[in-house]
Amino acid sequence: MSRISYIENFEQWQTSFSFKQEVKVRFSETDMFGHLNNTITFTYFEEARMEYFKHLGLMQKWLEANDDAIIVVADLQCDYLQQVFFDEHLYVHVKAAKIGTSSVDLHYMITREDGSVCYTGRGAIVQISKATGRSLPWAEEVKAVLGQFQEVE
Amino acid sequence: MSRISYIENFEQWQTSFSFKQEVKVRFSETDMFGHLNNTITFTYFEEARMEYFKHLGLMQKWLEANDDAIIVVADLQCDYLQQVFFDEHLYVHVKAAKIGTSSVDLHYMITREDGSVCYTGRGAIVQISKATGRSLPWAEEVKAVLGQFQEVE
Amino acid sequence: MSRISYIENFEQWQTSFSFKQEVKVRFSETDMFGHLNNTITFTYFEEARMEYFKHLGLMQKWLEANDDAIIVVADLQCDYLQQVFFDEHLYVHVKAAKIGTSSVDLHYMITREDGSVCYTGRGAIVQISKATGRSLPWAEEVKAVLGQFQEVE
Amino acid sequence: MSRISYIENFEQWQTSFSFKQEVKVRFSETDMFGHLNNTITFTYFEEARMEYFKHLGLMQKWLEANDDAIIVVADLQCDYLQQVFFDEHLYVHVKAAKIGTSSVDLHYMITREDGSVCYTGRGAIVQISKATGRSLPWAEEVKAVLGQFQEVE
């Protein structure tokens, strides 16, 4: 497996997550090659990201119809280390890797029940204004919450 | 194939559609049994329904964020007559079969390029108020447009 | 709500399920109207159906690449009683309602945590031969397992 | 917009594609934030990739049930430059950017009808053996076809 650009030390990185969300591979998520279709890992990333934000108490604000702030994806990437099959139980680990003014870089690791890593990923999320489409700086308390487990940039 | 409850005369029914939308089976829409996954026919029905409403000039109003009316699905059904595979070109036919006070019963027929029918379906759509969640009667002009090709109930 | 053709007595029907599978509404399963997209109920039906078959010990055979038998969907329908939103926890109940020679009619009921019913559905599954595409009669032991909780037709 | 690691000169890169596939944003592909859900760009990438391989005459072999070779995704990334909405017509451009022994690095660019770029992406595809799961070197003629428009590494 070629080196993954966003992971410096794989063993260290593997142990750096403290939040995980369980998912089970659905039949409709497989494809005719018999394994989990490649597009679904991003659904799992989103599922875990949302749970992570809920866990941190940040999600509610973004879901309020009257609030101007929403979060959007700036970029996403996934490295496919192993094929995954129907009915497997997976854990999607997520952490805030770097916090910017109005964005946060999230890392993802998907493991099997035996702990082996099948997918890794990362991607930045940006808070924007629904009205203007422009980025909205994090409130200090949001920054604090996101940074609890992480060095703030 | 058992008789389909919403089709009285299959030959007649087949020739009763005047609107169709083309779709192509995506790789991600297949499943590990090698064919189109059963859940996707409803995606195709929605795709054709939206194009049909756009074609009739009805869609714009429901998409306006400030308008109180949206349409919701009341029920849906699909009969699977033939297996369909990756990369097939299909035509999704749709028609208004019966118009109610605030609802419309749509019929669907999915055919291959050779004209053979692989799926049939039907389902009622209801216009509701976003604010109250209650059904909103069709405006007379909407009823007229929907009824152009059909007997009004 | 108009009477649902496959349910004779709603109160009685509601209490007739003994198997259920939990699902949580994903962000990617919502649509721009703000609720769960109508196509996803069929994904939930499939998810619960597969768990149900696993629970009955029937799934393994159909997943074996070398076995000639697979199951396919003959028809599906869903009635949408209530709108459902992001992050809701739902229970997808499934039961074998009627067993045929090579098919089984399954009923579905999706409830909220408070027990209220948001969706109902039904659909027949048929066992076919991969090689011929023709229906394959159930083995006696499969019929027995499916019929444990049900009258055999 | 932050510099995208796989694009050296954006203007030059934009003009380097010769293959494109049209897609239209489906209603079921939007989410409750009102725009195209972030997971769907990868569905569009796959759709365009498959069409590209078909166009090059490579797809047939990988679809044959009796052939040992399939292609799998090694990694994928997407940069989200603009929000995209229901019913937009998009063009998904794809090209082979670099050809390895048993892999190919593909670049993706999704544009609006006015030519503006909403998404960019890249990802490596690897040819593997179904039996062993190991990478299978390209046949010389495949390499030639993939390299028609590109420098071979």
B11 touches D at CB < 8 Å: no
| Percentage, residues of chain B above pLDDT 70 | 95
Query: Global pTM?
Result: 0.95
Q: What is the pLDDT of residue C106?
A: 98
How many Cβ pairs closer than 8 A exist between chain A and C? 28
Give me the residue from D39, D70, D133 closest to A43, CB to CB: D39
User: How many angstroms away from the CA of D150 is the closest CA of chain A?
Assistant: 23
Residue B1 has pLDDT above 50, yes or no: no
- The arithmetic mean of pLDDT across residues D84-112, rounded, is 97
> What pLDDT is recorded for position C3?
80
Residue B25 has pLDDT above 80, yes or no: yes
Per-residue confidence (pLDDT) for residue B61, from 0 to 100: 87
Tell me if chain C has a CB within 8 Å of the CB of A43. Answer: yes
Give the pLDDT confidence score for residue C150 in this predicted structure. Answer: 58
Q: Is the pLDDT of residue A98 over 50?
A: yes
Mean pLDDT, residues B10-25 taken together? 96
Residue A41, phi then psi, degrees to nearest 5: -55, -30
In 3D space, the residue among D151, D146, D124, D130 whose CA is nearest the CA of residue D59 turns out to be: D146
pLDDT above 80: residue D125: yes
**Segment A37-40 long-range contacts (CB within 8 Å, at least 24 positions apart):** A37/B27, A37/B28, A37/D46, A38/A78, A38/A80, A38/D42, A38/D46, A38/D72, A38/D73, A38/D76, A39/B28, A39/D39, A39/D40, A39/D42, A39/D43, A39/D46
Interface membership of D47 toward A (CB under 8 Å): no
Whether pLDDT at D87 is above 50: yes
Amino acid at position D70, single letter? I
C5 touches chain B (CB under 8 A): yes
Is it the case that residue A153 has pLDDT exceeding 90? no
Percent of chain B with pLDDT over 90: 87
Could you read off the pLDDT of B63-94 as tens digits, one per residue?
Answer: 987 889 999 999 999 999 999 999 999 999 99
Express as a percent the part of chain C with pLDDT over 90: 87
| Residue A89 near chain C (CB below 8 Å) | no
User: pLDDT-based confidence at D150, cuts 50/70/90?
Assistant: low
- Return the higher-pLDDT residue of D20 and C148: D20
Interface test with A, best of B25, B27, B28, B32 (most A CBs within 10 A): B32
For the cut 90, the answer to whether the pLDDT of residue A147 exceeds it is no
Q: Which residues from B are below 8 Å from A31, CB to CB?
A: 27-28, 30-32
C89-127, pLDDT tens digit by residue?
Answer: 999 999 999 999 999 999 999 999 999 999 999 999 999
With contact defined as 3+ CB pairs under 8 Å, the chains touching A are B, C, D
Q: What is the mean pLDDT of residues D86-105?
A: 97
Tokens standing for residue B113: 């390029």
Q: ipTM of this predicted complex?
A: 0.93
At residue C61 the predicted structure's pLDDT band, cuts being 50, 70 and 90, is confident
CB contact under 8 A, C42 and B42: yes
pLDDT, position B41 = 98
**pLDDT at residue A65, rounded to an integer:** 80
Q: Please, are residues C30 and C36 in contact by the beta-carbon 8 Å criterion?
A: yes
Question: Which pLDDT score is estimated for B149?
Answer: 60
Q: Higher-confidence residue: A61 or A80?
A: A80
The answer to whether the beta carbons of residues A79 and D122 sit under 8 Å apart is no
Check residue A150 and give its pLDDT: 58
Q: What is the pLDDT of residue C152?
A: 44
Residue B27, φ and ψ in degrees, nearest 5: -60, -45
Please, are residues D72 and A80 in contact by the beta-carbon 8 Å criterion? yes
pLDDT of residue D31: 97
What is the structure's pLDDT at D149? 60
Return the pLDDT at D121: 98
**Chain C residues with CB inside 8 Å of B76's CB?**
38, 77-78, 80
Helix (H) or strand (E) holding B130: none
**Mean pLDDT across chain A:** 93
B80 touches C at CB < 8 Å: yes
A101 touching D (Cβ < 8 Å): no
Query: What local confidence, expressed as pLDDT, does residue C148 receive?
Result: 79
DSSP D28: G
Chain D residues with CB inside 8 Å of B87's CB? 50, 54
Mutant choice from C25, C27, C31 vs D, greatest count of D C-beta within 10 A: C31
**What is the spatial distance between Cα C132 and Cα C148, in angstroms, rounded to a whole number?**
30
pLDDT of residue C65: 80
- B147: confidence class by pLDDT, cuts 50, 70, 90: confident
Q: Which helix (H) or strand (E) holds A29?
A: none
Closest CA relative to residue A122, chosen from A3, A1, A2, A4: A4
B28 touches chain D (CB under 8 A): yes
> What per-residue confidence (pLDDT) applies to D120?
98
Residue in B34, B43, B86 nearest the CB of D28? B43
